[in-house]
Structures are given as structure tokens and as C-alpha cells.
Chains A and B, each alone.
Chain A
Amino acid sequence: MTATGKSLILAVTAAAGLAGATGNAVAAEPLRICAAKNELPFSASDGSGFENKIAKIVADDMGREAEFVYVDDPGIYLVPNYLNKDECDVITGVDADDNRVATTKPYYRSSYVFIYPESGEVTVTDWDSADLAKMTRFAISPYSPVEPKLRDMEKWDDNLNYMYSLIGFKSRRNEYVRYDPETMISEVVSGDADIAILWGPEAARAVDAADKPLVMKVVPDTTTRRDEELRFSYSQAMATRSDDTELRDALDKALTARHDEIQSVLQEEGVPLLDAQPEQSSTDKSTTNGGSS
């Protein structure tokens, strides 16, 4: 499709939207949304993920049908292998400062959380908590900012083998294997793990469904031993390919228009919501970093 053609369609769609003619499918093509088949609570092929729901709301506002392009690959591959290969046009739930893509303004901000039983036996509110210092078994995933902190605390090595057991020792060297939040929460419930330290939106659903009451305490930002900043709060946005800024702008409009409805979805999910922070979303960039360092 030529640039002119694309603009034409978008112009028509926008016009239709402005005229309040929702559901006018004559000129509006479906909105192709990349999504993982199996990445609850974010996304699932039955649409039950909370990101799936938010995407539908946005598409609806744009007068377009949400066409989910579900993939078997783990979600980490969506940008390089699908979005940037033109298999789809929209991705939800990326960091607002992800410079590989063109991001919208954030539609929510959340954080990592300390997750442990509400029983009151232990309390952890920050990295210096006395109870945390005594802990040895951490239900965590190896790809997050939790790693450098646990290394600094000299708890990483002793926990490594336990961590691998959470995925049945499946990860072979350079194979990415997703750590299932339900598994990690059940480890906390059973007491096999002293604590879980997970991305809040990823854990909220499982925490809510747990057999035992659990608390989620926001993990504060900190610094490493080498004085590097370690952030545990992140703003989440939607994204398009770097040069697809018109679509990105259209998403922005829809996100603003349906802000309240989207917040409801997040609240129902139990996502720990933080106030928005002035954040730099990626600007129009012509270079994309296709996933290689």
C-alpha cells in the first residue's frame, strides 16, 4: 500500500470516527494487534488477557475491528519477529521508553512488587527490610532488574538452582523460557519460596486467586553497588513500528478518549497503579534496533 493510500484510509477512518459513525466498516480495515497466544495474564488466544481487553477498547474507539495476530512464540519476540516484519501493526504493553518502536503516551504506570503471605510473620517494604535480609528462596524470573539487586545482596548464586527448578530445568543455555507467574505464586503460598518479587501486573491475577491471602508491596527504585540506577517502576504504552507514527497518533487519541474504561480494566485486574510520571516516550525515529545488541 502506498503512503498516500494509507493516509487516505486513515483519513477516512478518522473522519468516520469524528462523525461518530462507529461500526462503519466500509472503509475501516481491521487493526492488526500482535499478541502472544499463551502469556496470561497479559494475553491469551481466547482474549482473556487484560492487554487483549484494552486493545479491543482502543480498536473499538478507532472504529476498527481488533484482529489479533496470535503467535506461539513467547511475547519477548513480538517486536523483532512480528511487528518489525509487518505481520501486525500494534503492540500493547511495552515500556514507554522502548526506542525500538514508536510509543504512545503511557496508559498506566506500575511497579515490581514484593509478594508474601499476609499472615504478618514477615514484612518487606524495601530492599533493606530485615526480613528480606534473612530470606534465601526467591521466586523470581532471571530476566528482570531483580537480578542485579540479588547479586549485590549475595543471594543470587544460592537461589539459582531453585530458580531453574521453577521451569523444570528446561532452559538450555540461550533458550528463553517464560517463568509462569502462577507457579511462582503457588511457591509462595506453599512456603517453598520465602517471597516472590515480580512485575506487579504480571502477578496480580494469580495473587488474587491464591489460596492464601498475600500482600503486594511496591518495590522502590534503588541503586547497585556500582551506583547504577535500578528502576522497578515502569510506564506502559502501546507501540507501532518506528515510522508508523500516524497510527501511533491514532492510538494515542483512542487511549485518551477511553481512559476511564481502560483504568477499570486495570483496576479489575488488580494491577498496582502508580501516578503517571513525566516520561519520555520514543519520538519519531527512523532507525530500529531489531533486537540485536
Chain B
Amino acid sequence: MGRTRRTSVRQGVFALAAVSVYAIAAPVGAQSSSGDKLNELSQNEENWVMQCKNYDCNHFSESTQITTENVKNLSPSWSFSTGVLNGHEGAPLVIDGMMYINGPFPNNVFALDLDNPNDIVWQHKPKQDPAARSVACCDVVNRGLAYYPGDGDTPALVIETLLDGHLLALNAETGEEYWKLEVMDPAVGQTLTQSPYVVKDKVIVGSSGAELGVRGVVTAFNVKTGAQEWRAYATGPDEDMLIGEDFNINNPQYGQTGLGTKTWEGEAWKIGGGTNWGWYAYDPEEDLIYYGSGNPAPWNETMRPGDNKWTMTIFGRSAETGEAKFGYQKTPHDEWDYAGVNVMMLSEQEIDGEKRKLLTHPDRNGILYSLDRTNGDLVRADKMDDTVNWVKHVDMESGLPVRDPEYGTRMDHRSKDICPSAMGYHNQGVDSYDPNQELFFIGINHLCMDWEPYMLPYRAGQFFVGANVWTYPGPKGNREAGTGSGQIKAYDAKTGGMKWEKMERFAVWGGTTATAGNLVFYGTLDGFIKARDSRTGELLWKFKLPSGVIGHPITYMHDGTQYVGINYGVGGWPGVGLVFDLNDPSAGLGAVGAFKELANHTQMGGGFIAFALNGESPYTKDIQTGEYQAEAASSTDKDRQASN
């Protein structure tokens, strides 16, 4: 293994003193070439350079080789096992004929040559503190790699979060460690599962561990040096949160300054949660990144009176400085664990007669929000299913949800049939948007819950306050059988309605990918990858995978062939019963009971599989590919380094 350049930077989240707020020496107006370069690479259908495919996070491919006519001829092309059995979220990246795959803990990374995937060009197996496993809340997942294209001085990098709280950059060509930062500390309950986000010359990463007293934080590091450029907390004083005087200036009714402390009792904001572990989008014209902050802590709402800002908030922040331009809180004073970190998809559509730059966000709470992403205006707030009941509707003037107290969770109230359940009608799956049809393809978890609080006394004046939570398919599913907990829909933001909708046996936990061939692809928890006609929802093709899906599909061209690929490996929150062999139905906030039936359809697995028309692959094109040749090393050899 060659010498590696390494910058180790300790970042203690609880070091409130002396945090540098603004970017260091970044020339105003300078467009980093690597920002453009990544954007450029993302437009090339031979690549899949970031988890969301592009900065719009629309998961949409222009490729039309696979169509509604021929998709029935899709067949397995090649496959790769990561060697790990735990939930496989996210998806591999494809750049320049190379595929980069990572997996759940221990977060091994592999680089494969797409001309011959039999060649693991390099692999990196990080050494991690095993204690991180027990701190992680809901299976030891990882939402995938990020890529930085390099700029001549700095090589191209593959970047990964590690469960034990490190951010790791590997030389994309050699797999050698380039830098490694300590961002989160498992000794204080923090972990990382998020896919990092590269924007221009920065890599941005959030946090995990809200219910353990972790205060949410987003940090931007210089991708070349690992130096911290800005850091914004989810709660607390404005200067910690990078909230300035013109925050929400277009929508003062959302709230402006001082609320990161005022909406909490005493100093509860310090342990207020709001971690963001989901997805980002970026608008290079506005130079704004968009993401959602997570749930407030502690989970028991009686312990944190107040609106708990700015948890559960859609943020638009300057990519350069981190300063918040707008923040819209979707669920003030959360009672249901509707963590607000889900996907943000950008589009430009004519809404109510006006062309607008939108961000669209399917929240855990069952509402599909669309905001004007230039200024935070609330444009749409539609229920993703009419069974959503904790909220009657969202007041479009104030932006506030009009709650139905019957479906609240409070320690003095027993409620049944709360929809969505704590797992949300939508979770971490990355959905897609077809700009031609102007439709969003949304995977939905049709799950509801009963909530029974209890107070258990014990000796010496002690008592434990808890709740029994039962989670089960919603009214449109089959509660007895534990099936019908999934839906897939085509949402039209212009009308606020659904063009088509279909039921699925289990929650559509992973994401969707759409193509210009009028197709939408997605995986199911019981292990199908499916293709539907994106215009009608008609089921056109499916394949039974070795294990269920919680990740999202990708598609890319290689050597003239369009491939569709997906990670398989059931796990994540819906899989906790399976993965950890749990039987108590109320464990995992009811997830074990909700998905008990899943074990009758799939078991654990872990890997990636690619499909092409008629199973085309480098091996069908030339059967000698990957064959052992007795002669000396062939000219197709690439540099190979196995690094640890």
C-alpha cells in the first residue's frame, strides 16, 4: 500500500466555542470548476455520479433504449455480492466505466470495471470501532457513496460516511485513503449513515442519533483538504444555526430570528435532536442546498413543550456559507416521530399559471410539500393518501398543519388508527420525477398505528413512562394478514392529485427511478424489482431478487447498452425483526409487528444486480471476457490495489 495523505480533524459536536461561521478565503463569485464538472458528468447517461443522479435529485434518465415495449425482455446481466448481510440502502455510483459500490457496516467499498465486472479493481475495508453497531438506531445501513471529480491538483475521490462517525475520502483510482475526518462520536451516541453530498468544492454531511440527545448538525468540509468550512446546528441560537437577519424574509409567518431557543423550554434545545440523515438537492443558479432536519428529542413530547424549532424543517441554505435563506417547519412540536429528512426533488413547473422553480418533498407525515425553492413560498401541501389523519389540512397562508387531536400522541391520550405510523407514509427512499410528463413517482408506506401510553411505577418513587405502539397496514391494506402496506403513485404537483396509484404487498421503502422510455423502476421489500409504465402504472416487468430491497435503482449506458441495476438486501427499519431476530411486535416502534409477514417472503441478502435487454453484458458480447488467459498480463489490466 502506498503512502496515503491523511488529514485527521477532530470535530467535537459539543464544542460550542469558536466555530467558524463563514467560509474561509473563498473568492466571491468564483465558480469552482469541479462543481461544474460534477454537474456536467451528471448529464451524461453513461454515468450515475451521485445518489440522486443529479443536483435536481430527480432520479430521471434520458436513456430510451429500454422502452415500455421491450422492457419485458430485461434479464439479469451480472451481479456482485458485497459480502455483508444487513440492509442495503442507496445504490452504487457509475463514473467513466467504473462502478463504485459500498455496503452497510463495516462499510466496505469496491471498485469494479464495467468492461469486466469480474475485476475488483480495488477494495477498501475500513477498520471501525465495533461499538458503533450498538449505538445505531435501526440496522447498520449506509445510504451510499459520493463522488468528487478532482481538479488536477486533487485526484478524483470516492467519499463515504462510516457508521462510527468518520468521513472517508478514497482516491477513486487507487482506493487509497486520501483523508479521513472524525465528524461524529459514537461515545456520545452519534453515528453516520447518510450519503455525503458533494457540491462544488465542498462535501456536506449531517448527523444521526437524535433520540440519544444528539443535537442535529450539518457540516461542510473542503473536499480537497478536509478543513471545515461551515457548520449549522438544527436548534439553538441563531449564530449556531447560521440564521441571519433576512431569514424567511419572504415568509415571516414561518418565523424568523431567535426561535431555535425560544420554542424550547429552558435549555432543552441543546439535546433537541433535529439530526438530518437523508437527502440533499442543489440549485447551482440560486447556489442553495436543500434538505430537511429530523425529529426533535426526546421522543416523549411531554418532555419538550414548544414548537421545537428548527426540527422537522425544510431548509434552503447557501452552499457557500451555510447561511439559511429559508426554513419551513412542517410539523411543529412533533408527536409521531415524523423525521423530516426525506428526499428533495427539484423541478420547474407552471403552477397556477405561474412558472416556478420548485422543490418537492414527500414527508414522513404523509404530506407532499412543494415550495418555491428561491424563497420558501409554500405552493402545495397535498396528502399523499386520503387516509392521512393527524392533520386535517395544511393552512397555505400560515403554513401550519391543522391538527386533529384525536390522532395525537400524548401521555394522557390513547389513540387508535393514527395514519401515518411513526415509520411515516414515506421514509428514506429516493423518488423520481419525469420532466416530460411532469409527474413524481412516489413509493409509499401505507402503515398506521395505535398508541397506548402507560406509566409504570416502581420502588422508591421511580416510574417509567412509555407507550405501547402497534403498527399495521392502513385501511386500504389487509391488517389481519399484515399485507397491503405499500403503494406506488404518480403525483402531479400542478393538480395536487394522483394520475395513477397501485397497491403493493409491503411498504415501498426504497426509491423509484424513471426514464424517458416512459418507465418507472423500483424494488419491493419482498424482493421484486419492477418496471411500470410511468404513464399508466401498468406493470410491465419484474424479477425476483435474492433478497428484499430498501435501496433505489440506477440506470446507465455502458458500451452502448442500457443497464438497470439495484441493491438487494432487506433490512433497515422495516427489516429489524428479520435482521435482529426480534419477536416482540412492539419492538422498533411497532416495526417488528408490522413486518412480521415479510419473513414469509424473503430473507437477508446483500449485493447488487444489473439487468439489460436480453441479459446483455460484457460476457454476452464476448464470451472470452473475464476468461483466464495463459499468456502474460493482458493489455486490459488496470492498476490494482487492495487497501485496508
> A residues touching B (Cβ–Cβ < 8 Å)?
75-77, 80, 93-95, 98, 100, 112, 141, 143-145, 151, 154, 157-158, 160-161, 164-165, 168-170, 172-176, 199, 202, 231-232, 234, 236, 291-293
Contact = CB atoms under 8 A, between A and B. Distances in A.
A145 B453 CA distance: 20
A76 B271 contact: no
B134 A168 contact: yes
Contact of B453 (A76, A157, A293): A293
Nearest to B215: A161
Given A77-B456, A161-B213, A174 B467 contact: yes
B622 interface: no
B211 A112 contact: no
Contact of B213 (A98, A164, A174): A164
Contacts of A232: 461
A160 B268 CA distance: 10
Contact of B589 (A94, A100, A143, A173): A173
Contacts of B462: 76, 141, 143-145, 199
A247 B463 CA distance: 26
A172 B211 contact: yes
A24 to B, nearest CB: 34
A164 B189 contact: yes
Contact of A174 (B187, B214, B299): B299
B609 interface: no
Given A77-B456, A292-B452, A168 B135 contact: yes
Contact of A293 (B188, B300, B454): B454
User: How many of chain B's residues touch chain A, expressed as a range?
Assistant: 35 or more
Given A154-B266, A161-B189, A165-B188, A143 B137 contact: no
A100 B271 contact: no
B599 interface: no
B459 A161 contact: no
Nearest to A143: B462
Contact of A143 (B266, B267, B411, B463): B463
B518 to A, nearest CB: 43
B460 interface: yes
B516 interface: no
B642 interface: no
Contacts of B299: 173-174
A47 to B, nearest CB: 19
B460 A199 contact: yes
A287 B337 CA distance: 35
B455 A145 contact: no
Candidate in A100, A157, A168 with the most chain B CB atoms within 10 angstroms:
A157
Contact of A199 (B459, B463, B466): B459
15 contacts: A76-B456, A76-B464, A94-B459, A143-B458, A154-B266, A154-B267, A160-B213, A168-B135, A169-B212, A173-B300, A174-B466, A234-B461, A291-B455, A291-B456, A293-B455
> Nearest 8 CB-CB pairs, A to B?
A174-B466, A293-B455, A161-B213, A173-B299, A199-B460, A143-B462, A292-B454, A160-B213
B270 interface: yes
Contact of B266 (A80, A157, A236): A157
A161 B461 contact: no
Contacts of A76: 456, 458, 462, 464
A176 B271 contact: no
Contact of B461 (A75, A95, A202): A95
A144 B461 contact: yes
A95 B270 contact: no
Contacts of B454: 291-293
Contacts of A170: 134
B354 interface: no
A98 B457 contact: yes
Nearest to A198: B460
B460 A176 contact: no
A157 B469 contact: no
A95 B459 contact: yes
A230 to B, nearest CB: 8
A276 B621 CA distance: 90
A161 B214 contact: yes
A292 to B, nearest CB: 4
A199 B412 CA distance: 28
A232 B211 CA distance: 29
Given A143-B462, A199-B459, 9 more contacts: A98-B457, A151-B266, A157-B266, A157-B270, A164-B212, A169-B134, A174-B467, A234-B459, A293-B453
A75 B268 contact: no
B537 to A, nearest CB: 36
B460 A112 contact: yes
Nearest to B458: A76
Contacts of B588: 172
Contacts of B412: 293
Given A157-B268, A157-B271, A161-B271, A80 B461 contact: no
A274 to B, nearest CB: 12
B456 A80 contact: yes
A281 B187 CA distance: 44
Given A161-B212, A291-B456, A143 B464 contact: yes
Nearest to B469: A174
Nearest to B135: A169
Contacts of B212: 161, 164, 169
B316 to A, nearest CB: 29
Nearest to A92: B459
A288 B459 CA distance: 17
Contacts of A157: 266-268, 270-271
A138 B412 CA distance: 30
A95 B461 CA distance: 7
A95 B463 CA distance: 12
B12 to A, nearest CB: 12
Contacts of A293: 411-412, 453-455
A77 to B, nearest CB: 7
Contacts of A173: 211, 299-300, 337, 589
Nearest to A201: B460
A145 B463 CA distance: 9
The winner among B189, B467, B468 for most chain A CB atoms within 10 A is B189
A176 B134 contact: no
Interface string B436-475: 0000000000000000111111111111101111000000
A290 to B, nearest CB: 9
B135 to A, nearest CB: 5
Contacts of A75: 458
Contacts of A94: 459
A232 B460 CA distance: 8
A160 B303 CA distance: 13
A164 B271 CA distance: 12
Interface in B549-570: none
A293 B212 CA distance: 25
Contacts of B463: 143
Interface string B368-381: 00000000000000
A144 B457 CA distance: 10
A234 B135 CA distance: 35
Contacts of B131: 168
Q: In this complex, which of B187, B453, B458, B588 has the most chain A Cβ atoms within 10 angstroms of its Cβ? A: B458
